[in-house]
Amino acid sequence: MSGAGAREVIAPYLKTSTYLKLRLIVPILLYIPVSLIYSMISLPFDLPFGTKYSYAGGFFLFWCLIFVG
C-alpha cells in the first residue's frame, strides 16, 4: 500500500511482465534485511542455536525459517 502511489505513476510505462517482476522481486529483496534484523533481535536472548548444528549454522537456519515464514 505504501508503494501504490509510485506504482500508479510508472505502471503505464511498464510491460505486464516487467510489472509482475517488479511486484515479485522488490518485496523479496526487502524481506531479506527485515528478516535478518528480526533474527538478530533474538541473539541477546541466548537461544540455543548450536544444539544440533554449529552456532552459525543454527542461526542461519533460524534466519531462513524467519525469511520463509
Please answer whether residues 27 and 35 qualify as being in contact, where contact means their C-beta atoms are separated by less than 8 angstroms.
Answer: no
pLDDT given for residue 16 in this prediction: 86
DSSP 8-state secondary structure symbol assigned to residue 1: -
Distance from C-alpha of 19 to C-alpha of 65, rounded to nearest angstrom: 28
pLDDT given for residue 3 in this prediction: 67
Q: In this structure, what is the dihedral angle of CA atoms 26, 24, 66, 43, given to the nearest 10 degrees?
A: -10
DSSP 8-state secondary structure symbol assigned to residue 16: H
pLDDT tens digits for 1-11?
A: 666 777 778 87
Residues of the chain below pLDDT 50: none
Q: What is the pTM of this model?
A: 0.70
* Domain spans, the chain: 4-68
